[in-house]
A and B are shown apart, each in its own frame.
Chain A
Amino acid sequence: MMTDQEFENLWQRAEASPHADGLMEEYPSWQRNRRNRLWVTASLVVATAVALPLLTHPRFPSSDDAYIAAYCNRSDIADQYWVNMADELLRDV
């Protein structure tokens, strides 16, 4: 009986063969481990794909935020200055 590692090496050589599927069925423990590894990889990729935008992007603002994004051509002016200005202009009318 081969170990999983030995079978892994054999599998790398035999993967291209048309008989590979039959060979894999002879070693269910290796097949199970391989499937588990693939699931872990898949889960990590999907979790990263979902979590990254959620964690880093400002398009998911809290309902308390006064604005989602601010741009200004002067770096020395705080965003809050413009929030106040947008509010005051509406009050002025």
Chain B
Amino acid sequence: MKRQLFVLLLLPLLFLTGCFRQSSPSESDLYRHYAEQQDLKVAQLSGFKLCDTVRVDVVMLQADNQQAWLRLTEEFDIRAEEGTVSWLGQIDNPAQRTQWSGAPVMRVIASPGRRTVGFYRIDTEVQYDALIDYQLENTKNNN
């Protein structure tokens, strides 16, 4: 009887532990792909807040030197003379440009001045709209 009760009590504990492990933020494949490179600062912000109800995951690569930046520009086909550029990239291959169709994409922003590339993962239309709203709002605030 005691053993049965103990097992019954243990079940919700294991269930909750499993739930919170499954849903906990973890390092993305993109982050892991670049994290070992010595001349890149690599960061991931899980749940970067765009507004009170919408968050996105962001991975950022920052080159330590010009050589590392040139490697990034070649890998992602970035033309430095164009200044800061932005495109929608495929999730598995952000260098590959694509269009918004409702399927998950990366919003990629490359800033030659900061030698930084940011990848904003968009899974839903709500996130897509919130990202645009965030930029519009900040542009208005800057003016």
Q: Does B93 contact A (CB under 8 A)?
A: no
The smallest beta-carbon distance between A20 and chain B, in angstroms, is 10
Q: Which of B76-116 contact A (CB under 8 A)?
A: 84-86, 109, 111, 113-114, 116
A side interface size, CB within 8 A: 38
How many chain B residues touch A (Cβ–Cβ < 8 Å)? 50
Q: Which residues of A contact B84 (CB under 8 A)?
A: 89, 92-93
Smallest CB-CB separation from B8: which chain A residue?
Answer: A42
Q: Are A67 and B139 in contact (CB under 8 A)?
A: no
Tally of A-B residue pairs with Cβ under 8 A?
A: 125
Residue ID in chain B nearest A83 by CB atoms: B45
**B55 nearest CB neighbor, chain A only:** A68
Instruction: Find out whether the CB atom of A70 lies under 8 angstroms from the CB atom of B109.
Output: no
**Which residue of chain B has the shortest Cβ distance to A56 in the bound complex?**
B20
The answer to the question of A63 belonging to the interface, with a C-beta cut-off of 8 Å to chain B, is yes
A45–B11 CA distance with the chains assembled, in angstroms: 10
